[in-house]
Structure 1
């Protein structure tokens, strides 16, 4: 029995002598400057995320694996020594162990991987574990990505794909993986392509529903890696925009008003057929999207706009037109040499654009001029009548009066109401019941009755008064001297015959 135990002990000693020397992962820092490190420690730093210093690389490695490690290491000089266990690894592996010691003012940090202890793999184990952890994180990130990611060989075969791609291809149902090789190929992309140039690709599912993706391709050695992002929202928005523009175009096509929209750079972006008809500018010219000043120059050349005699004044006028249209609503009336009259309206649009509306108002201006002419003629006729005439609106406000009225009643003024006029007339005359009857019959807004009577002014003149209701509730008041009526009455009778 003793011999057996001695032989077993000798075999264990021989086995230990056959194991390679295990070198620990140890780093020595003076404040944050690396003084010395073992070979596996240097390998670990090289495998750690990039940072501006070795201390930064170490902290970047330790932070996701140990709780509050930066704060704990900052107080090592006062504590002297700490030993902590980290978080479990992404794959559920045993947590790392960290030993930090203050040695004569220097900080010695030792990292131990419990899973590698006694296996002779401690040196490469930590570096390998860091790489595996990072690889696992990258795999999780790609699996959680909503974008489709896959890799193709130079021959065009799909050799790797993330979860979103497999779900789309139907190779992954919930948590059950049913992969087959080669992996299904969803997109038929040409291998001879340009990197970073997105292409829009459409896929159709079994129900006949179309889905759109923007695909990006990159070289990865001899292979290709592809990314496909959903473009459904963009496609639907572009279609809605096209439909909206088509609707606007059809609507604008039926408008008799010319429309010209210039963008922020003052290039013509949109116009309707009426613009070409009103400005006599060809569709070929407008389709070239001329600038605002090229557009106005062409209008000037074709004499389709009012302009000063010198070009400089015209240029300043057009600059003012642009600035006022960009700042807010602006309207001008152009009297063209051919007798037509245009109303040009400018108003700002979103994103710095400007819209101009060209409206032919020749008939409107002709009608307005005719109306003004007839009104001036009517006023001239009234002013040449010896009888004083005044018209009051339904509200009682004085609307118009001829020259004879102002001579007879010089105290009357425009805007004076009927009530004030009746008082002023009565004060200028000898007291009579005519004015009291006028107040009763004419004061009400409705059902005014005709009224006539004679009154005597303070200077002795006898005035014949007439109050006649007009259409719409208006009222006409006329005043004539008795002597004048005696001279005019025979002429009226003669005209009536």
Structure 2
């Protein structure tokens, strides 16, 4: 048995094995086990026999020896006797085991024989040419293919080609089989399918899982099974078709129903349920709600042929008409209803309209005749009878159109033709035409008729005869006047176009066509303004162009005012247009080319805008930079002052000198930044003065004390000439102080060393007037005009050139004036006049 188990789970068990190989292995292992057990039984049998034959002699010798030997020999003999007894018992046990093993060997031989028999049957089954099996081992992805299918099925003999199901099965069958096989291998889900080959052969496909292996069997069906499979496929196709048709009928907005042979409603679509006011079609069928009346149903039931008729019924409380088609068959009947209520209403309305038109045409002065599809006279009015002077009896018998033409020709009432038959065929060709035909007839009696022949949609034609005799005469004279007018307009340099109230152009001159780039054919008389708009679209397509012209020209307003404006074309031309209403509801458009003047104006405007943007950009830049510089400069000044304090440690002489230079330069730079920021604030218009009562004597004292360091630095002195009774003034203390310091600093910059600067202050009425004078080199006359400009630096020490600009800005904010008087070699004197301001009302009240 161990050998049998070893044969089933030996080294070959890990590799994929076929069914035949497994059966062969089982048989060989069983035979080895039988041989092994047979040898072991022979060995046991021999040992048992030896024990049996040796037992009597040994017993006799033992008895005799007992008598002769002593106690030691007795012990030895006893041991020997025990061994012999044990051998005897072993022999008996071996005999019993031998019988049991022989029984097991017999059972194994029967099992092997059975396995061989099953193996033979499996081999016969696999070798059947009506089936083919694909086996996937759980440990291997490569399948094993057994058996063959008949060649007439179209299945390939090669394994690789057979696995490509899409090559020999129909696409739908191949896709379904591949999905089933994938589900079998991944989810162990069995399946049974019926598939079709490309040769229209039916094959049964079965999928099963057993022992960790997946089996797929392809079986070629015999006649009965094939017929059953074909019927099953046909049933599936019919069920699918029935489902599709039911879904299609459910999606229709036409009621569709099906009845049994007894006339009971068995199925209806959604539109039927809605028509009978049911929640759904199932409720309509369940409750037997009928769409048609009992009379209509009886009429349908009594008709053996397919019923087709108009039926009146009530749908959702409204009388409706349906075109009902109902067909009968052995299983019952099916019907469909087409709602023609609107069509019936339109038909009745058409009949009333035709009657009304006939009554209207009969009262017209224009001759009108209507012929039906067979070219026979159907309607004529009194004007038609009077025009051709035809008998009433002749007209009432509805003559043929050709017959009527022959009668008129015989009465010499039609124009003479060289080829009468050809002309007659051309006139009657309107019955086969689509568009309206227009023709002029010059009658022998001198009349001129314009004939309109229009084919009718329901067949036949309508003939209208317009008498143009007087009109032709008037047109002749009118055309002469128009020709003179056209010659005049054609030679104008302005573009001119005249439109009628219908929006169609009446005339245009070459200047108009040249400005808009349209051809003479595109702007020919009679062209609608929409066509003109499309022709002019490449030049201009704005909403305020031809679209507005079209609205004005075709407007029905009683008042038609003129309209003017400018248009700039894509070509670069600038046109001055005018829309002028004329008599007879006509409108004239004029266009004047003003491109050159507009270009000059635009150039000046663009230059001005550029200057404004540049100035604004400069102000923004200055303001931004000033704000960004003020913070680091304040830090530098603070740290420089901190380095000077004893608590930070002693500085050597050079370090102290450097720190002084840093502090001085930073203070100067901070002053410049503050000045720039003040100017930027003034330019932005956001600077506001903080007005207060100022005591002028105290102001002068503060200025003198704050400016003393600068005087020592420049080696000049300051002389202040002012009355003790200067009094006070309402002004901005900080800005007024800045004005004085800026003027004194500018004078110190120009004054020679060892000289004095004079600050003179006095009152002129309520105004506060002061001047700052120096005896410096003076300012040349050509430079004097630019001293108030920003960043204009003069003097030996130079500077940012902002002092006088700030002075002028702050004086202007106080509504004052500043003047400068300077001569070369005689010095400079700057005079400022500050009028008093007024405190806010809240402050005054306080």
**TM-score class normalised by the smaller sequence:** 0.3 to 0.5
- TM normalised by structure 1 equals 0.43
More strand by share: 1
More helix by share: 2
**If you compute each CA radius of gyration, which structure gives the higher value, 1 or 2?**
2
Larger RCO (CA within 8 A; separation ≥ 6): 1
